[in-house]
Amino acid sequence: MSKEKGKTISDWIECAKNTLASLEKLESDKDSDMARLSASELPHFEELRLPYSDFLKENNRLMQFLNRHERVTIRALPTPEGRKKGFTRKYEKNWPSAFEECMQFLKPVIKENGEYFTVGLTAYEPNDYGFILISGEKYIRGEIGKSLEDLSHGDETPIVSFVLDRGKTGHLEDKIIWLKREDDSAAKVLLRTLNCIKAPFDNFNPIFLEGYFEGVVTKTGIKFLDYKINPAYLS
């Protein structure tokens, strides 16, 4: 406990409550986020979701998906009932897509609690860049780096970043302030990701989707991985 004058255990309890309240605001329903991305017209990887009870070799839809992709991101997603029991999401990126290998990941995670989990599979490709777009009511912030995971965790300084002032009048380029632009090719890629959330053919006072977006750039193009609308992510 701190020896700082005037600090009591009650002060630390209050501080802990405030911290937990901040974390609760950031809580996001991953099921809804994935469904929102799937329903959008944003480019994204092919994905498949199914109850754990249907994760069987006899499931043709599952086996066709696994056979189409060399590697996948695999997630064990707790159902609403599973969340009430305290189960949390578990996942592995860049995982072999063979059925047996997938089961090697799922069995120890899910164990005997299969009725409380669904399985989410997303196609995986090696990434050239990772990007984040935070599109709010007044501003859009964009950044790009070599690793989305490092970028989103704050472990990597972006190669390129900008802020777009939506209140300015004019063309797209008139609204952007470049905060960092060390790599011109990365800057062009970041602008392409921005165009994905912009209304087509609208460069003068353009309309943008609002939300928190994460994605990667691969040899086959831009792929969005996350689309949140939780206000805490947009502040």
Q: 180: domain CATH number? A: 3.30.470
List the structure tokens of 35: 């469904």
Q: What are phi and psi of 82, to 5 degrees?
A: -65, -40
Q: Does residue 102 sit in the same domain as residue 152?
A: no
Residue 68: inside a domain:
yes
**Structural domain ending residue among the three candidates 123, 138, 171:** 123
pLDDT: which is higher, 104 or 8: 104
179 and 96 housed in the same domain: no
Residue 35's pLDDT is what?
A: 86
Task: Based on the fold, state whether residues 138 and 96 are members of the same structural domain.
Answer: no
**Alpha-carbon separation of residue 230 from 72, 87, 97, 233 (angstroms):** 27, 22, 32, 6
**Contact yes or no for 192/202 (Cβ under 8 A):** no
**Residue 227: pLDDT above 80?**
yes
* Boundary of a domain, candidates 78, 108, 123: 123
Do 56 and 95 lie in a common domain? yes
State the Cα–Cα distance between residues 163 and 139, nearest whole angstrom.
7
Residues 114 and 133 in one domain: no
- From residue 27, how far is each of 38, 212, 234 by CA, in Å? 20, 13, 13
Question: 146 with 229, same domain?
Answer: yes
Q: Is the model more confident about 21 or about 113?
A: 113
Q: Which residues pair with 88 in a beta bridge?
A: none
CATH of the domain at 83: 3.30.1490
Assigned domain for 27 exists: no
**Distance set, CA 34 to CA 67, 214, 226 (Å):** 22, 12, 7
The pLDDT > 90 percentage for the chain reads 69
Domain span at 73:
46-123
Task: Specify the number of domains making up the chain.
Answer: 2
Q: Is the pLDDT of residue 208 over 50?
A: yes
97 and 173 co-located in one domain: no
Same domain, 110 and 139: no
Among residues 71, 93, 123, the one where a domain terminates is 123
> Tell me: the pLDDT tens digits for 179-203?
999 899 999 999 999 999 998 877 7
135 lies in some domain: yes
C-alpha 162/C-alpha 79 separation (Å) is 38
Please check whether residue 157 lies inside any domain of the structure: yes
Domain-located, residue 14: no
Higher pLDDT among residues 24 and 140, named by residue? 140
Task: Indicate whether 226 and 138 sit together in one domain.
Answer: yes
Query: What is the per-residue pLDDT across 14-37, written as a single tens digit (0 to 9) for each?
Result: 555 565 554 354 456 777 888 899
Two tokens at 211? 């939300």
Q: Do 187 and 154 share a structural domain?
A: yes
β-sheet with 129-135: strand ranges across = 176-181, 160-165, 139-145, 129-135, 211-218, 221-228
Residues 116 and 140 in one domain: no
**What six digits make up the tokens of 40?**
């959008």
pTM score of the predicted model: 0.80
Is residue 108 one of the residues assigned to a domain?
Answer: yes
